[in-house]
Amino acid sequence: MTPAEPHVNDRPLPAGEDRPLPHTPSAASPLAAAPSGSLKGRMRAPGDKSISHRSLIVGLLALGETRIEGLLEGEDVLRTADACRALGASVIREGEGCWRVRGAGIGGLVEPSAILDFGNAGTGARLMMGVAGSHPITATFDGDASLRKRPMRRILDPLVRMGTAVVGEAEGGRVPLTLRGPRETVPIVYETPAASAQIKSAVLLAGLNSPGRTTVVEREATRDHTERMLRLFGAQVTVEPEGEAGRRIAIQGQPTLCGTEVVVPSDPSSAAFPLVAALVVPGSEIVLEGVMMNPLRTGLIATLLEMGAEIERLSERDEGGETVADLRVRASLLRGVDVPAHRAPSMIDEYPILAVAAAFAEGPTRMRGLHELRVKESDRLAAVAAGLAAAGVPNAIEGDDLAVEGLGGKVPGGATVATHLDHRVAMAFLVMGLAASEGMRIDDGAMIATSFPCFVPLMRELGAGIRDA
Ligand code: S3P
């Protein structure tokens, strides 16, 4: 095994400190991945980002104390912790991944005295717009260059129907923007215009501070972490099937949420990177510990199994109300597949790394219905297509689909990929470099710290040749 060396992304928080890191890395941090010998060993990917954000946010809205174990201490989540403080919660880090939140309670938020800066984090910003926008306070939201490009109209539209005033916004409904919440939030029935857990969650969280029943209808089921978290804290949430694949979710407003214990399971969207690395680097065998297996998050595993991946689910158990499993992954000969559009919500963050798996597979892969990828931390569809092309992998964007011509294990590589402030593009192409003939480089790995702060050292412990470039 390659010993871990100090590295820009190897920055665990010292115990007792809750914001010791500069949030937005100021300098670019180019990284290189070289063709590596077999990956071996065990790894636990960090806490789930979606659940981490929600545990802090619902802790803010609860009365009493919430204790969180396994919180992802990535920069995105630290921004949400800051915003919770600015809105009136006490948020204290007690040790690695262990945090304590004393909430302000629904209706009890205070007006923030400064701009809420969410950095790179779309989830934190959008969910918090639902929270702050349903309280009679004025709050301004901002973020980095990536967040400033992302559409917020999808959140503002339902909030305006609930009574929120958009006092100011950057062109096209983007941050920086300022919301002023109404004296009394109006409960609504809202059909989401896109399969988006962030839209659903913003509306449900706003509905918490309204006097009636707020309903969200989604045509395709998306990750249900908000619904689960609200129930855990004592809210009444009903979920009914809607049409073929959708759901109708209703929440009774103005409940008393009670602080509780939250255990955050390991993030399947982060585990995806070592998982695909082990599949494509010949001779590899690794175990990924305690990966969350929520069925609304396992689309990548379903797809990789169809491609012929050797992935075993071991020791399935319950952790914090979610099923988790250890995943044993062995290097596998993959074959190209057709990935249906209806699977997108269950693997929406996994397409960059699936595209890398597809590049190493035998034959073509078509990933359908990827329009939402255009509004992620970058235009991921364009960024992934450009990265594949630079690495010598034939591919095409056809409408909302990405078609990749698999090269059967013989990916040339040897290119530098532009990551556009996108952590998942960065990690995906580093994984590619571990098995590509000429390795790969990325222009900037600093954003990896938003979701997977110890990615580089943990990968190196498995034997991955990743270093500063
Ligand atoms: C998330 C939902 C997804 C996902 C994001 C996290 C969440 O976004 O891409 O990384 O925690 O709700 P959309 O809901 O916009 O698809």
Q: What is the CA(328)–ligand 1 centre distance, in A? A: 27
Phi, psi of 179 (to 5 degrees): -115, 145
The pLDDT score that the predictor gives to residue 18 is 52
117 is catalytic: no
Ligand 1 contacts CB of residue 50 (under 6 A): yes
Q: What is the CA(283)–ligand 1 centre distance, in A? A: 34
Ligand 1 atom at minimal distance to the Cα of residue 345: 16
Give the C-alpha separation, 141 to 152, whole Å. Answer: 11
Which residue's CA is the nearest one to ligand 1's atom 16? 196
Ligand 1 contacts CB of residue 201 (under 6 A): yes
Residues ≥6 apart with Cβ < 8 Å to 101: 55, 56, 59, 60, 62, 65, 66, 68, 84, 89, 90, 91, 92, 259
Mean pLDDT per 10-residue run, the chain (469 residues)? Answer: 32 44 66 98 98 98 98 98 98 98 98 98 98 98 98 98 98 97 98 98 98 98 98 98 97 98 98 99 98 98 98 95 97 98 98 99 98 98 98 98 97 98 98 98 98 98 98
Contacts of 228-231 with CB under 8 Å at 24 or more apart are: 228/321, 228/322, 229/51, 229/54, 229/55, 229/58, 229/262, 230/58, 230/204, 230/257
DSSP assignments along 261-305, one per residue: EEEPPBPHHHHHHHHHHHHHSTT-EEEEEEEE--TTS-HHHHHHH
Q: pLDDT by residue (tens digit) across 199-237?
A: 999 999 999 999 999 999 999 999 999 999 999 999 999
Query: 226 to each of 53, 57, 447, 466, how far by Cα in Å?
Result: 10, 10, 25, 36
Return the SS3 of 172. Answer: coil
Among 349, 401, 422, 468, the active-site one is 349
Q: What is the CA(199)–ligand 1 centre distance, in A? A: 9
The pLDDT score that the predictor gives to residue 15 is 43
Which residue's CA is the nearest one to ligand 1's atom 10? 349
DSSP assignments along 436-468, one per residue: STT-EEES--GGGGGT-TTHHHHHHHHT-EEEE
Q: What is the CA(223)–ligand 1 centre distance, in A? A: 8
Residue with tokens 């920069």, as numbered in its chain: 75
Ligand 1 contacts CB of residue 348 (under 6 A): yes
Best residue among 72, 123, 377 to mutate for probing ligand 1, ranked by most atoms within 8 Å of CB: 123
Give the C-alpha separation, 175 to 117, whole Å. Answer: 10
Return the SS3 of 225. Answer: helix
